[in-house]
Amino acid sequence: MIRTLRLTGMLFLSLLFVAGLTADEGMYPLSDISRLDLRSKGLKIDVSDIYNPEGVSLVDAICQVGGGTGEFVSPDGLILTNHHIAFSGVTTASTPENDYLRNGFTAATRAEEIPANGYICRITESYRDVSKEVLGVVTSAMTPAERSDALQAKMRSLAVEEAAERENISCEVSEMFPGKSYVLFTYRIIRDVRLVYVPPLAVGNYGGEIDNWIWPRHTGDFSFLRAYVAPDGRTAPYAPENVPFKPKRHIKVAPEGVSENDFVFILGYPGRTYRHKSAEYIALYEQVILPYLSGRYDYMIETMEEASEGDRALQLQFANLTKGLANATKNYKGKLQGLRRLGLVDKRRAEEAALQEFIEKTPELNAKFGRTQAELRSVYSEYEQTALQEIIASLLGRNQFIALLSSVMRAVEKGELSGEKVERMQLFIQEQYGLIHRDTEIDYLATLLHDFMQLPESQRPAAVDALTGGERDRTKVYDRVLETFRKSAIASFDGITIVSGWDKEKLDSSTDPFVRLVRELNTLNASIIERRRTRDGELKRLEAEFLDAKMAWQKKEFIPDANSTLRLTYGYIRGYSPADATSYKPQTTLGGLIEKNTGEEPFNAPQQLVELYNTKNYDKSYEDALLEDVPVAMLYNMDTTGGNSGSPVLNARGELVGVNFDRAFEATVNDYQWSEDYSRSIGVDIRYVLFVAKYLGKADFLLDELGVR
Ligand code: ASP
C-alpha cells in the first residue's frame, strides 16, 4: 500500500514535469540534430553523444539490416533487431525437421551461429551535401525525361567516384527533397551476418496478423544477430574463419526500462513517407492504387494459405512472401481508413487553394509558381489514367512462370546461349522451376490477366485478349488460361528448356500464346519506362517549385520525407485515444498476454511462459514497479515508418529501453500526415527481451554479453 502511494506520488510529479511537452513531427536527418534543442525536451546527454562527426557517438552503433534497422549491443558485433527483420533468415534456415521458425533458435556458442542468408549490414560513416553538383547537370534545354536521366546518372557517378577503391565502403546519393537537395552517404558494409538468438514464433510473432498494426500488443518482436568480418577486419562474405565485427560504439542496455511520459528517442532508417506530396498524389493512392493492391494481396495470401494447409514445407516456402503481403495489405487498409477519417485529400486541396491565392497576390511569386500547382495536377491526372495498367504489368512480370520465361527469352534474344552457358541456363531453369508452386502461380496469372481485361482495350496487350478469349468473367478467364497453359511451352520444365535452345528467329516467329504475351509485355514495359522517365523529370521540377512556394507561404523550413537514410525522432511514452470513447494506456504486460492466450495460433504462448506467469517463479527485477508485472510492449508518440523496424528506443541517457517494431493502425496514415493525436509507434520493452532470452531461451550467455546479469 505504502509502495503504491509512493509510486502514485512519483507518477503525479513526473506528469507535472512533462506537462506541455509534446513530440514534433520529424524524422530528422543527421544534419539537423544539432539544431534541435533536445535537452529542453528531456535529453540528459550531450547532443554530440548522439551524433559527432569528429568522434564516436551513438550513430556508430546503428546499422541498416534486412530492410530495417539494428543496433550493436556488445563490443563483439551483437545486433538486436526485430523478429520480423530476422524472419527471412530464420525461415531460410528452417526445415520441417529443424523448424527454427516455429521453435526458435539459440546458438549457445559462436560456433553454433548460422548464416542469415542474404543479410547485409550498412553503417553510416559520413555524409556530405552534393546538391550543387547534382543539380548542376540540369540545363533548361533538357526535356523532362532527359532531366530525370541526367540527375540519376550524376547521383550514380558521384557515388561510384566516392566509393572507388575504398575497402569495405559503399556510397549512395540520396534525394532529400526531390529536384532540390541531395546528400552523398558513405556506408561501411558487412556481408557476414549470423543468427544468434531468435525466440519461438509464438513469442516473436504472438498475435500474428490479427494483432499486427494493432495496440494493445503483446508481441516479443525481437531477435539477435551478429556481424562478422574477415580476420584482418575487412568486409567478407560468410567464411568459418571470420571474426566478430568490432563496432566503434555499442549501446548500453538499461534493464530498469521506462515509464509513461518518459522522454525517448529513436535512431534508425525510416523507409518512405509522402508528406510533401500534393493532394492529387494522395487522391490517386486513396482511390486507385491502395484499394487495388490491398485486394490483390489479400487474394494471394488466401490462395497460398489454402494451398499449403497441412504442408509445413510449403508453408515455410511461402512464409516470407505471405508475411510481407499481409503486412502491406493491413497497412494499406489502415491508411485508407485514416485518409477517409481525416478527409485528408479535401483538406490538402483546400490548403493548396489557399496557397494559390497567396502566390497570386505577389507578382514575383506568381511569375515563379503561378502555374506550378495546375501543372502538378495535370501530371497526376495523366498518371491516374494508366496507374492500374502500370501495376498490373509489373505484377504480371513478377509471376514466376512469366519471370522465368522472360529470363530465358532475354538470353535467347541476346544470343547468349552457347557453350557452357547452355548448361548454366538449364540448371537455372531447373532451380527456378522447382521453386514454382504450379497451382497458385497459374491462379495469379489468370487473376492478373482478368484484371488486364477490365482496362480499356488501348491499355492491354493484344496477347491478353488472345489468351483470355476476350472474356472478362473471372471463372471463364481462369478456364481459358488453364486450357492454353496446358498446351504452352511454359507448362513444363522440358518445354521451357526447349525454348532456351531456340534462336532469335524461332523465338520471334513463335505463336505460343505465353511467348507472345512476354514479347508484348516487354514492349509495353518499355513504353511504361519511357512514360515514367518523363513523369519523373516533370515531378522533380514541379515538386521542388511546390515546396519552395509552400516554404515562402508558411515561412518555415521543412524536414525531408523519409528516404531510408539515418534519422532521429524523439517523443514520450504515451497512450492515445484511437476512437470515440476509447483510450489506451502506453504499456502492456505479461498478464495481458496470458489474458489473450487461447492456446490457438496466433495466441498460443509457449507453455513455459504460461507457467512462469502462473508460478511467478522468476526474478522480480524484470517487473515494472508501477505495473507490478513484466512489461511486454510500449507505445510512444515518436515519428516512425517502415524501415524503423528494429530501431533502438533510447532513454534520456541514450541507453536501450526497447526495440521499435510497429505502429498503431491509426498511425499508418502518418506516412502522409503526422499528428500528435494518432501517430503512435510500438516497441517491445527491453525487460521482456531480457526475460524471454533468459527464461525461454536459456540464453544467460546473451545477458552476460549485454552486461546485465
Ligand atoms: N512493422 C512495421 C513494418 O512492417 C514498422 C512500421 O511501419 O512502423 O514496416
Q: What CATH number corresponds to the domain at position 215?
A: 2.40.10.120
pLDDT in tens, 357-371: 999 999 999 999 999
Q: Report the pLDDT value the prediction gives residue 416, as an integer from 0 to 100.
A: 78
**Same-domain check for residues 548 and 693:** no
* More confident: 3 or 385: 385
Residue nearest atom 2 in ligand 1 by C-alpha distance: 662
Q: Which of 223-232, 243-252, 288-297, 417-426 has the lowest mean pLDDT?
A: 417-426
pLDDT in tens, 122-170: 999 999 999 999 999 999 999 999 999 999 999 999 999 999 989 999 9
Q: Report the pLDDT value the prediction gives residue 165, as an integer from 0 to 100.
A: 82
pLDDT in tens, 558-586: 999 999 999 999 999 999 999 999 999 99
Asked if residue 469 belongs to a domain, the reply is yes
Q: Which domain, by its residues, includes 140?
A: 123-190
**Same-domain check for residues 145 and 87:** no
pLDDT in tens, 469-526: 999 999 999 999 999 999 998 999 999 999 999 999 999 999 999 999 999 999 999 9
**Same-domain check for residues 307 and 325:** yes
Asked if residue 484 belongs to a domain, the reply is yes
Ligand 1 near 640 CB (within 6 A): yes
Q: What is the mean pLDDT of residues 674-690?
A: 96
Minimum-distance ligand 1 atom for the alpha carbon of 221? 1
Residue nearest atom 4 in ligand 1 by C-alpha distance: 642
pLDDT score of 11 more than 90: no
Asked if residue 8 belongs to a domain, the reply is no
What are the helix (H) ranges across 66-175? 83-93, 100-103, 131-135, 144-163
From CA 546, how far away is CA 368, in angstroms rounded? 10
**Same-domain check for residues 270 and 411:** no
Centre of ligand 1 to C-alpha 70, Å, is 14
Ligand 1 near 642 CB (within 6 A): yes
pLDDT score of 690 more than 70: yes
pLDDT in tens, 12-65: 333 333 444 666 788 999 999 988 999 999 999 999 999 999 999 999 999 999
Q: Report the pLDDT value the prediction gives residue 21, as an integer from 0 to 100.
A: 62
**Same-domain check for residues 504 and 595:** no
Centre of ligand 1 to C-alpha 689, Å, is 19
Residue type, 314: L
Q: Report the pLDDT value the prediction gives residue 422, as an integer from 0 to 100.
A: 86
Centre of ligand 1 to C-alpha 73, Å, is 22
pTM for the whole structure: 0.94
**Same-domain check for residues 105 and 217:** yes
Centre of ligand 1 to C-alpha 175, Å, is 22
Cα-based angle 415, 417, 423 (whole degrees, multiple of 5) = 175
| Mean of per-residue pLDDT scores for the chain | 95
**Same-domain check for residues 299 and 330:** yes
Q: Among candidates 562, 560, 539, which has minimal Cα distance to 551?
A: 560
Distances (CA, A) of 346 to 15, 239, 382: 37, 56, 20
Distances (CA, A) of 686 to 229, 324, 616: 28, 25, 19
% of the chain beyond a pLDDT of 90: 93
Contacts of 114 (CB under 8 A, 6+ apart): 93, 105, 107, 194, 195
Asked if residue 665 belongs to a domain, the reply is yes
Residue nearest atom 1 in ligand 1 by C-alpha distance: 662
pLDDT score of 4 more than 50: no
| Total tally of structural domains belonging to the chain | 4
Partner residues linked to 28 by β-bridges: 568
**Same-domain check for residues 184 and 327:** no
Q: What is the mean pLDDT of residues 220-242?
A: 98
Centre of ligand 1 to C-alpha 373, Å, is 32
Q: Which residues of 100-125 are buried (b: 16+ CB within 10 A; e: fewer)?
A: bbbebbbbeeeeebbbbeebbbbbbb
| Domain final position from 504, 533, 557 | 557
Asked if residue 16 belongs to a domain, the reply is no
| Domain final position from 141, 164, 190 | 190
| Domain final position from 190, 211, 226 | 190
From CA 569, how far away is CA 312, in angstroms rounded? 41
**Same-domain check for residues 341 and 459:** no
Q: Report the pLDDT value the prediction gives residue 709, as an integer from 0 to 100.
A: 77
Mutation pick for ligand 1 pocket among 27, 323, 331 (CB with most ligand atoms within 8 Å): 331
Q: Report the pLDDT value the prediction gives residue 22, as an integer from 0 to 100.
A: 66
**Same-domain check for residues 202 and 181:** no
**Same-domain check for residues 401 and 442:** yes
Q: Report the pLDDT value the prediction gives residue 182, as an integer from 0 to 100.
A: 98
Q: What is the mean pLDDT of residues 82-99?
A: 97
Mutation pick for ligand 1 pocket among 564, 663, 668 (CB with most ligand atoms within 8 Å): 663
Asked if residue 366 belongs to a domain, the reply is no
Distance of CA 34 to the CA centre of its chain: 27
Ligand 1 near 662 CB (within 6 A): yes
Asked if residue 529 belongs to a domain, the reply is yes
Q: Report the pLDDT value the prediction gives residue 557, as an integer from 0 to 100.
A: 86
Residue nearest atom 3 in ligand 1 by C-alpha distance: 642
Centre of ligand 1 to C-alpha 271, Å, is 9
The answer to whether 224 and 80 are in contact (CB under 8 A) is yes
Kindly state the cell numbers that stand for 85: 527483420
Ligand 1 near 215 CB (within 6 A): no
* More confident: 530 or 415: 530
**Same-domain check for residues 397 and 249:** no
pLDDT in tens, 387-402: 999 999 999 999 999 9
Asked if residue 488 belongs to a domain, the reply is yes
Q: Report the pLDDT value the prediction gives residue 3, as an integer from 0 to 100.
A: 39
Ligand 1 near 74 CB (within 6 A): no
The answer to whether 432 and 399 are in contact (CB under 8 A) is no
Q: Give the chain's largest Cα–Cα span.
A: 89
